[in-house]
Amino acid sequence: MYTKFGRVKPARHLFDIMPVRNEVSWNTMMSGIVRVGLYLEGMEFFRKMCDLGIKPSSFVIASLVTACGRSGSMFREGVQVHGFVAKSGLLSDVYVSTAILHLYGVYGLVSCSRKVFEEMPDRNVVSWTSLMVGYSDKGEPEEVIDIYKGMRGEGVGCNENSMSLVISSCGLLKDESLGRQIIGQVVKSGLESKLAVENSLISMLGSMGNVDYANYIFDQMSERDTISWNSIAAAYAQNGHIEESFRIFSLMRRFHDEVNSTTVSTLLSVLGHVDHQKWGRGIHGLVVKMGFDSVVCVCNTLLRMYAGAGRSVEANLVFKQMPTKDLISWNSLMASFVNDGRSLDALGLLCSMISSGKSVNYVTFTSALAACFTPDFFEKGRILHGLVVVSGLFYNQIIGNALVSMYGKIGEMSESRRVLLQMPRRDVVAWNALIGGYAEDEDPDKALAAFQTMRVEGVSSNYITVVSVLSACLLPGDLLERGKPLHAYIVSAGFESDEHVKNSLITMYAKCGDLSSSQDLFNGLDNRNIITWNAMLAANAHHGHGEEVLKLVSKMRSFGVRLDQFSFSEGLSAAAKLAVLEEGQQLHGLAVKLGFEHDSFIFNAAADMYSKCGEIGEVVKMLPPSVNRSLPSWNILISALGRHGYFEEVCATFHEMLEMGIKPGHVTFVSLLTACSHGGLVDKGLAYYDMIARDFGLEPAIEHCICVIDLLGRSGRLAEAETFISKMPMKPNDLVWRSLLASCKIHGNLDRGRKAAENLSKLEPEDDSVYVLSSNMFATTGRWEDVENVRNQMGFKNIKKKQACSWVKLKDKVSSFGIGDRTHPQTMEIYAKLEDIKKLIKESGYVADTSQALQDTDEEQKEHNLWNHSERLALAYALMSTPEGSTVRIFKNLRICSDCHSVYKFVSRVIGRRIVLRDQYRFHHFERGLCSCKDYW
């Protein structure tokens, strides 16, 4: 009697003084203990029964197993009960087995649930439904539908609960064809008038965008509860009909007695997006007005709404004002911090929870682990790993997956793999995390090996698996060995129709050097979303096809595709590389018009575009005042000033940044050291390099070392550059030796140049720059036999030299010129203009520097060859095609030669035109016979 009314203490007192206790009294007492939520005490009581040889009843065992699931932290105890059940032969009891499979589902181990289910001799509708619940809670609606099909195949009919789960899963999948079939089954099974089923149908139809049908069902309902009103309000809100959703809410307040906190929470739950914040804030005000701001579930939904919109500051304010907080409150705020990139705040919140004795669960640790997804948080991640083990949650499937992901994200792949191997069950999410980690680590062999092991273990892959493996294929050599076999698997496994997989295939073929296959895949798609277009933009950008990138952006606009941050960034980068200011300005203007003016990616891309198009004034105008500048803004300004030859201003800007209390980063020092190198500021550059570690505690990266080598090499201090390389804290790469070789070419140092060329060719045997720089070095020192040998090697190895190209952009037309180019429609006029230029500047003292000629010919022929250079053809065309007195803008894909540099200086003085040339490395501003580089480049 006492246990039935939840009075455990008097019941336990009577139990303890009983002279004789039989199985009934033991089972009744344990049932009462579990019923009132004393789960751990119930487990101890169960162990005592086992020690005394008293057999628990099936009902009591089922209750205890259920209790282990409800506690959220008694997985091991649940497994112990499962072991007892197996030894006792009670698995044949459908209620006991159902409770066990539900236990594994609660802890995310749905594969274990499936195993228990498949071993059950008898299954009822509750067993099928419990299995569905596990997969539904884990977010696998496809599995729920498969279970439903298996259920029908065995002739088991759905009840109200199972049918509601099936309908909800169909809604998540947004499968309209399946939805129609299920509606037919609902009618056939006579469940169409069941309230839970009708509510699920409204939600499903809303998620599929069929609001009219959802409203029809709502209107036809003979009975409506709060869930019904919430479902139809959510259906309208999900499809953007926010005002109609509020109309439903108003009707509910007028005609439904139970307008409660759940209703408000439902509306808030669909407003977690920045575009809907005006509505969300409106409901927030209504929450306060209706007095629901003290209701925990409403405040939790407010937290999630602000978190979904990336507003962790507002979420934190709501949290602080909550009179009562539950575990969901803490977890929601932690997730908000993580989503907003506030990792330290998220971990600080966890510390507060633990120190104040708050309970934590797998959701808490999942968010905390997500806060440690960068290498800087490796040690904190390891501490969290230890806490997970101590708390007994290590064997939770979701926690295990999060640990594999965390170690993978920070590049600790051996730890990631070790965690995976320790997991009791490895599902597709765990394998995807491991494969994705190998892909990010650019280790295709291990990514493919993990994929193959996963298949051997019988774990079915999904589109994420395929996308992760494809992303590991990065190089041309990967195409035949890995890429094409993967494509064949994708076709055979039926993944070819998945849009994510198609987009990844486009990217894979492009990265592996086969752009034509990327184009074929793109052309074969009937429906292209923004991700597909962006994949094709990236593919063309990867191959240096800037013109095609801009054409694709134009097509996207004409087809009504709304450009996103990635689209704008790729378009602006292409405009920067091509130096087409007008197109870049149009894209930037459109981005501002669409509300992207504060987006950091677009801001950086636009600033880089203006800088590379010679408009440094626009860059300065874009930047905020110095007191409000962030580090990226300072980096942009320093880089732009250096690129345009304002080297002293670069140093002044750097020191101004320090005065503002901004700590420089790796990028800052790369721009700073590059400017010093190009400006000949050797001593300053070396002093800045020393500051990296000494003053700011940063580890010098190889990019900084390359800058120092270039700094010393350009100034002729080649022995110091060579010594610096030998003492570098890392192994020299191809850029190190290429920089030294270029300096040896400038200064004619053959011995060091040969050594640098040998080291470079070992690292990059197919790179044309090894041979071009060596050939030029020999040519400028008159070693024509060596020049011939290098050119023969290039021919034997079929290595093609990158051809020089210069171009001029006038209005909407780009005119390009190669060496000795005669393809332009105005070729005759261009060469005539060149002769006029030559005559004018010779009269002013110009003498050709034939040491830069790379052919072993007589002096007259050498000078003739110099006047065929692409930048001179572009100059002649620009001078004859632009108004007198206007600035001439020319762009070249390679470094300008010293004689052409001299010609440009003479032209700027003799003809009186300002000339701006952007070559491979920097801008040259020619005016009144002088260049901004001060003849040091």
Q: What is the average per-residue pLDDT within 366-395?
A: 91
> How far is the C-alpha of 783 from the C-alpha of 786, rounded, in Å?
6
| Whole-number pLDDT of residue 274 | 43
Calpha distance 203→228 (Å, rounded): 9
Instruction: Name the pairing type of β-strands 915-918 and 888-892.
Output: parallel
Residue among 456, 509, 401 at smallest CA distance from 448:
456
Q: What is the pLDDT of residue 418?
A: 95
Kind of pairing between the strands at 813-817 and 915-918 = unpaired
| Segment 394-415 mean pLDDT | 93
Query: Tokens 């069941």 label which residue?
Result: 194
What crossing angle do the helices spanning 226-238 and 195-207 adopt, rounded to 10°?
10
Please answer whether residues 515 and 509 qualify as being in contact, where contact means their C-beta atoms are separated by less than 8 angstroms: yes
Confidence of residue 9 (pLDDT cuts 50, 70, 90): low
Among the listed ranges 6-10, 319-323, 348-352, which one has the minimum average pLDDT value? 6-10
Where residue 853 falls among pLDDT bands split at 50, 70, 90?
A: low
pLDDT value, residue 857: 61
Mean pLDDT computed over 464-480: 84
Q: Which residues sit opposite 889 in a β-bridge? A: 916
The half-sphere exposure of 852 on its side-chain side, counting CA atoms within 13 A, is 19
The tokens of 781 are what? 């020192």
- Distance in angstroms (rounded) separating the CA atoms of residues 34 and 782: 95
Tell me how far apart the alpha carbons of residues 413 and 534 are, in angstroms, rounded to a whole number: 30
Which residue ranges make up each domain of the chain? 260-321, 341-425, 426-527, 806-931
**Taking a C-beta distance cutoff of 8 angstroms, is the pair 190, 158 a contact?**
no
- For residue 402, is pLDDT > 60? yes
Distance CA 123, CA 109 (A): 20
The more confident residue out of 273 and 884 is 884
Q: What is the mean pLDDT of residues 298-306?
A: 83
Residue 334 — φ and ψ, nearest 5°? -60, -45
CA-to-CA dists, residue 606 to 623, 813, 839, angstroms: 11, 21, 41
Give every strand in the sheet of 930-931, ordered side by side: 813-817, 806-810, 888-892, 915-918, 923-927, 930-931
**Statement: residue 916 has pLDDT above 50:** yes
**Highest mean pLDDT: which range of 12-16, 523-527, 564-568, 621-625:** 564-568
Mean pLDDT of 656-662: 94
pLDDT at 832 (0 to 100): 97
Rounded Cα distance between 845 and 841, Å, is 6
pLDDT at 847 over 70: yes
Q: Residue 892 in contact with residue 870, Cβ under 8 Å?
A: yes
Percent of the chain having pLDDT more than 90? 48
Residue 277 has pLDDT above 60, yes or no: no
Using an 8 Å Cβ cutoff, are 334 and 352 in contact?
A: no
User: What pLDDT does 5 receive?
Assistant: 46
Name residues whose C-beta falls within 8 Å of residue 461's C-beta, 6 or more positions apart in sequence. Answer: 428, 431, 451, 454, 455, 493
Residues 700-738 have pLDDT tens digits of 999 999 999 999 999 999 999 999 999 998 999 999 999
- Give the CATH fold of the 426-527 domain: 1.25.40
Between 242 and 617, whose confidence is greater? Answer: 617
- pLDDT level of residue 14 (50, 70, 90 thresholds): low
SS (H, E, C) 214-270: HHHHHHHCCCCCHHHHHHHHHHHHHCCCHHHHHHHHHHHHHHCCCCCHHHHHHHHHC
Instruction: Please report the pLDDT score of residue 2 as a whole number.
Output: 47
| pLDDT exceeds cutoff 50 at 66 | yes
Instruction: Work out the percent of the chain whose per-residue pLDDT is above 70.
Output: 93
Is 4's pLDDT higher than 60? Answer: no
Of 527 and 129, the structure prediction assigns the larger pLDDT to 129
* DSSP codes joined into one string, 60-124: HHHHHHHHHHHHSS-HHHHHHHHHHHHHHTGGGSHHHHHHHHHHHHHTT-HHHHHHHHHH-S---
Mean per-residue pLDDT, 492-511: 90
Pairing mode, strands 806-810 and 930-931 = unpaired
pLDDT confidence of residue 79: 84
Bridge partners (DSSP) of residue 924 are 917
Transcribe 165-206 into DSSP letters.
HHHHHHHHHT-HHHHHHHHHHHHHTT-TT-HHHHHHHHHHHH
Other Cβ atoms less than 10 A from the Cβ of 130: the count is 26
Per the DSSP assignment, residues forming a β-bridge with 216 are none
Residue 782 has pLDDT above 80, yes or no: no
pLDDT band for position 280 (cuts 50, 70, 90): low
- What's the count of helices (H) and strands (E) in the chain, helices before strands? 52, 6
Instruction: Find, among 662, 657, 666, the residue nearest to 637 by Cα.
Output: 657
Distance from C-alpha of 158 to C-alpha of 186, rounded to nearest angstrom: 9
Q: Which residues contact 161 (CB under 8 A, 6 or more apart)?
A: 129, 196
